Amino acid sequence: MALSLKVEGRVAWLVFDHGKANEMGSQELDDFEAICDRLETGECSTLISSSSRRSKRGTAIFIAGANVTERVGWSRDQVATHVRRQRQVLRRIRELPLFHIAVVNGVALGWGTEYCLTADYRIGCSESVYGLPETGLGILPGAGGSADLWAQIGVSQALRLGMTGERIDVQEAYRIGLVQEIQEDVGAGLERARSLASRVAKNSPTAVAAFKQACLSAVGRPPDDRLEIEARAYEHCLDSGEAAIGRKHFGEIRAGHVPPWGKLERFET
């Protein structure tokens, strides 16, 4: 596998360190599918994606983009099928029943910026650089950059990045909402991510997953639909028995102890 997952307790660590510049191609899509198979079981409550990779010149790299060199000689239909698969894989990562934190250090261009959109929380580091260069290559951001980026940073900022190809630093990414906080370097970013993961690990896997699914499913829905989704997600926690566990062990939870939560039971909207 080009990608490898390390699990410590309830935290999964995905560190990108492959190819010339952590580029994403067919092999990486295969690996992501295998990773999703594992993470969808509820074994982990948090996924932390990061990279400590540097180029020979010392440039920090998160994900430099898609592996376009593998497409040399591909037909139009092969390329279209491959990019549709990219969208499907990234959507699957987005919907994992856990808290996904991306600690972005270095270049995150094209696919790198689009991968950030799969994360629930994005920590930018001082060397982070973001951008969508695709229109300068005769294509467009095809793995979420056109479909989903606007919902995170607004239509005008999405159009600016996608139509100009301008690269932005971490301060600008924070200003427009592409990242939620800034840490000085990848070490500090990972410590912050670990702190957040420790909090998630204390909570019910079923309740955490149901909350995430209810939030994502509510986007773009009218108010009545949003409230109905919330009601069904809440009742899923009741039906799974997790609410009863929380009530029974309320005193212990307040004292900082983790109760015997059940295994993940997925909530489907």
174 and 245 share a domain?
no
231 and 134 share a domain?
no
* Among 47, 63, 1, residue whose Cα is nearest residue 27: 1
126 and 236 share a domain?
no
Q: What is the pTM (predicted TM-score) of this model?
A: 0.96
Report if residue 43 sits inside a domain.
yes
CA 243, CA 190: separation in Å to the nearest integer?
Answer: 32
User: Which of the listed residues 183, 200, 217 is the one where a domain comes to its end?
Assistant: 200
pLDDT for 1 equals: 79
CA 178, CA 130: separation in Å to the nearest integer?
Answer: 9
CA 242, CA 71: separation in Å to the nearest integer?
Answer: 48
Report if residue 218 sits inside a domain.
yes
82 and 148 share a domain?
yes
232 and 148 share a domain?
no
Domain of residue 228 covers 205-254
Report if residue 261 sits inside a domain.
no
> In 3-state terms, what secondary structure has residue 103?
strand
* Among 4, 130, 135, residue whose Cα is nearest residue 62: 130
pLDDT tens figures, 26-85: 999 999 999 999 999 999 999 999 999 999 999 999 999 999 899 999 999 999 999 999
CATH of the domain at 177: 3.90.226.10
pLDDT tens figures, 93-118: 999 999 999 999 999 999 999 999 99
Six-digit token pair at 177?
């909402």
Question: Are the C-beta atoms of 254 and 229 separated by less than 8 Å?
Answer: no
234 and 194 share a domain?
no
Mean local confidence (pLDDT), 225-239: 97
Mean local confidence (pLDDT), 194-208: 97
- Domains in the chain: how many in total? 2
Report if residue 266 sits inside a domain.
no
CA 36, CA 89: separation in Å to the nearest integer?
Answer: 9
pLDDT for 2 equals: 86
100 and 191 share a domain?
yes
Report if residue 268 sits inside a domain.
no
